[in-house]
Structure 1
Amino acid sequence: MSAPQDVLLQRREGAVLVLVNNNPAARNALSAEFYTAATQALAEADADPTVGAIVLTGAGGFFCAGGNLNQLATRREMAPEDRRERLELLHTFVRRLRDTAKPVIAAVEGGAAGAGMSLALACDLLVSSREAFFGVSYIKVGLTPDGGITSFLAEFVSRQVLTELCLTGDRITAERLNALGAVNRLVEPGSAEAEAIALGQRIAEGPDRATARIKALCRGAHMRSLDEQLELEARAMVESQGDDEAAEGIGAFLQKRRADFTALRRRG
Structure 2
Amino acid sequence: MTDPVLIDRKGAVAYLTLNRPEAGNAVDVALSRCLLDAIVAVEADPAVRCVVVRGNGRMFCAGGDVKGLHAAGDALPEFLNEILVSLHPAIVRLARMNKPVVTAIHGPAAGAGVGLAAVGDVALAEPDAHFTMAYSRIGLTPDGGATWLLPRLIGLRRAQELALTNRRVSAEEAAAIGLITRVVAKGTLAQEVDALAASLARSAVGALGTTKRLLLASDEATLEEQLDAESACITEQGGTDESRTGIAAFVERRDPDFSAAARNAEKSAAHR
Q: Is the 8 A contact 1:133 1:172 kept in 2?
A: yes
Match in the other structure for 2:54: 57
SS of the residue corresponding to residue 20 of structure 1 reads strand
Q: Is the 8 A contact 1:106 1:127 kept in 2?
A: yes
Residue identity opposite 1:9 in structure 2:
L
Q: Is the 8 A contact 1:134 1:173 kept in 2?
A: yes
Cα distance, 1:102–1:90 mapped onto 2, change above 3 Å: same
1:42 aligns to 2:12 (yes or no): no
**Unpaired runs of at least 5, structure 1:** none
Match in the other structure for 1:131: 128
Residue 212 of structure 1: how far off its partner (Å) = 1.3
Cα distance, 1:218–1:66 mapped onto 2, change above 3 Å: same
Match in the other structure for 2:221: 224
For residues 19-60 of structure 1, what are the alpha-carbon distances to aligned partners after superposition, in whole Å with 9 as ceiling and x for unaligned? 110011111111222222221222221222211101100001
Residue identity opposite 1:233 in structure 2:
E
SS of the residue corresponding to residue 106 of structure 1 reads strand
Match in the other structure for 1:180: 177
More off after superposition, 235-244 vs 80-89: 80-89
Distance of 1:100 and 1:156 partners within structure 2? 18
More off after superposition, 112-121 vs 215-224: 215-224
Match of 2:203 among 206, 212, 232: 206
**Unpaired runs of at least 5, structure 2:** 267-272
Distance of 1:111 and 1:164 partners within structure 2? 19
Match in the other structure for 2:269: none
Q: How many residues align?
A: 265
Distance of 2:79 and 2:183 partners within structure 1? 40
1:196 aligns to 2:193 (yes or no): yes
Q: Is the 8 A contact 1:61 1:190 kept in 2?
A: no
Residue identity opposite 1:201 in structure 2:
A
**Cα-Cα RMSD:** 1.8
SS of the residue corresponding to residue 256 of structure 1 reads coil
Cα distance, 1:170–1:48 mapped onto 2, change above 3 Å: same
Cα distance, 1:86–1:7 mapped onto 2, change above 3 Å: closer
Cα distance, 1:76–1:87 mapped onto 2, change above 3 Å: farther
What is the TM-score normalised by the length of structure 1? 0.92
After TM superposition, the structure 1 = structure 2 runs for residues 1-268 of structure 1, keeping only pairs within 5 Å, are: 5-78=2-75, 80=77, 83-267=80-264, 268=266
Cα distance, 1:125–1:223 mapped onto 2, change above 3 Å: farther
Distance of 1:14 and 1:241 partners within structure 2? 27
Distance of 2:76 and 2:154 partners within structure 1? 35
Distance of 1:195 and 1:39 partners within structure 2? 26
Cα distance, 1:247–1:236 mapped onto 2, change above 3 Å: same
More off after superposition, 214-223 vs 7-16: 214-223
Residue identity opposite 2:75 in structure 1:
M
For residues 184-238 of structure 1, what are the alpha-carbon distances to aligned partners after superposition, in whole Å with 9 as ceiling and x for unaligned? 2311233223212211111111123212111211223233221221121111111
Identity %: 36
